A and B are shown apart, each in its own frame.
Chain A
Amino acid sequence: MATPVPVLRLPKGPDPNSRGFDPNSPRFIALCRTSIPTSAAAESDPQQLQEEQHARSVLRERFLRCLLAMSNKKVRFHMHEKVNVEATFGASDIDVLNFQVSDLHTPIGVQKEALIRSQDVISFTFDV
Chain B
Amino acid sequence: MAMRQTPLTCSGHTRPVVDLAFSGITPYGYFLISACKDGKPMLRQGDTGDWIGTFLGHKGAVWGATLNTDATKAATAAADFTAKVWDAVSGDEVLSLAHKHIVKSVNFTQDSNCLLTGGNDKLLRIYDLSKPDAAPQEIAGHSSAIKKSLWCNNDSQILSAAEDKTVRLWDSRSMEEVKTLTFDTSVSSMEYLADGEILVITYGKTIAFYNALSLDLIKTVEAPAPINSASLHPEKDFFVAGGDDFKLYKFDYSTKEELESYKGHFGPVHCVRFSPDGELYASGSEDGTLRLWQTAVGKTYGLWKCVLPGPGNREL
Q: List residues of A whose CB falls within 8 A of some B CB.
A: 1-15, 19-23, 25-28, 30-32, 95, 97, 117, 119
Task: Name 14 A/B residue pairs within 8 A (Cβ), A-sorted.
Answer: A1-B2, A2-B2, A7-B303, A7-B305, A11-B9, A12-B49, A12-B51, A13-B10, A13-B12, A20-B43, A20-B52, A21-B89, A21-B91, A32-B90
Do B303 and A13 have beta carbons less than 8 Å apart? no
Interface stretch, picked from B53-61, B98-106, B144-152, B232-240, is B53-61
Q: Which residues of B contact A25 (CB under 8 A)?
A: 52
**Does the CB pair A95–B56 fall under 8 Å?**
yes
Enumerate chain B residues within 8 angstroms of A95, measured Cβ to Cβ.
56
**B98 CB, min distance to chain A CBs, angstroms:** 13
Q: Are B54 and A19 in contact (CB under 8 A)?
A: yes
Q: Return the chain B residue nearest A95 by Cβ.
A: B56
Q: Are A4 and B292 in contact (CB under 8 A)?
A: no
A117 to B59 Cα, complex, angstroms: 10
A103 CA / B8 CA spacing, docked (Å) = 46
| Least Cβ–Cβ distance between A14 and chain B, in angstroms | 4
- The answer to whether A32 and B89 have CB atoms under 8 Å apart is yes
Is B134's CB within 8 Å of the partner chain A? no
B91 touches A20 (CB 8 A): yes
Which one, A8, A19, A26, contacts B56 given CB within 8 A?
A: A19
Main secondary structure of the interface of B (DSSP, over half): loop
Find out whether the CB atom of B316 lies under 8 angstroms from the CB atom of A20: no
Residues from chain B with Cβ under 8 Å of A11 in the complex: 8-10, 44, 48-51, 292, 303
Q: Would B8 and A10 count as touching, CB distance under 8 A?
A: yes
Contact between B298 and A5, CB atoms less than 8 A apart = yes
- Chain B residues with Cβ under 8 A from A26's Cβ? 28
- A120 to B, closest residue via Cβ: B59
Indicate if the CB atoms of B91 and A6 lie closer than 8 Å.
no
Q: Which 4 A-B pairs have the closest CB atoms?
A: A20-B53, A11-B49, A21-B91, A21-B53
Q: Are B12 and A14 in contact (CB under 8 A)?
A: yes
B3 at the interface (CB under 8 A from A): yes
Chain B residue numbers with a CB within 8 Å of A27 are 28, 89
CB-CB < 8 A to B50: which residues of A?
11-12
* Closest residue on chain B to residue A9 by CB atoms: B303
Q: Does B294 contact A (CB under 8 A)?
A: yes
Known: A11-B48, A31-B89. A5 touches B4 (CB 8 A): yes
B253 at the interface (CB under 8 A from A): no
**Contact pick for B304, options A6, A32, A97, CB 8 Å:** A6
**Of the residues B6, B28, B90, contact of A7 by C-beta under 8 Å:** B6
| In the complex, chain A residues whose CB is within 8 Å of the CB of B156 | none
- Cβ < 8 Å to A, chain B residues 271-305: 292, 294, 297-298, 303-305
Q: For the complex, what is the distance from the CA of A22 to the CA of B9, rounded to whole Å?
A: 22
In the complex, which range does the number of interface residues on chain B fall in?
A: 35 or more
Residues of B116-145 contacting chain A, CB below 8 A: none
Bound complex: CA A95 to CA B53 (Å): 14
Closest residue of A by beta carbon distance from B56 = A19
Which listed residue (A6, A9, A12, A28) contacts B307, Cβ 8 A? A6
Given contacts A12-B51, A119-B57, contact A3 B90 (CB under 8 A): no
Name the residue on B nearest A29 (C-beta): B89
* Docked CA distance A59–B48 (Å): 41
Contact B51 A14 (CB under 8 A): yes
Which of A4, A22, A23 lies in contact with B4, CB distance below 8 A? A4
- Closest CB-CB distance, B6 to chain A, in whole Å? 4
Query: Which B-chain residue is minimally distant from A27 (CB atoms)?
Result: B28
Per the bound structure, the CA–CA distance linking A19 and B91 in Å amounts to 8
A32: chain B residues within 8 A (beta carbon): 87, 89-90
Task: Please indicate the chain A residues that have their CB under 8 angstroms from the CB of B6 in the complex.
Answer: 4-7
Q: Is B185's beta carbon under 8 Å from chain A?
A: no
List B contacts of A4 (CB < 8 A).
3-6
- Chain B: CB-nearest residue to A7: B303
Report the bound CA distance from A4 to B263 in whole Å.
Answer: 13
Closest approach, in angstroms, between the C-beta of B294 and any C-beta of chain A?
7
The answer to whether B304 touches A5 (Cβ under 8 A) is yes
**Distance of B102 from chain A, by nearest CB (Å):** 19
Structural contact, A7 and B49, CB atoms closer than 8 A: no
Could you say which of A5, A15, A30 contacts B3, with CB atoms under 8 Å apart? A5
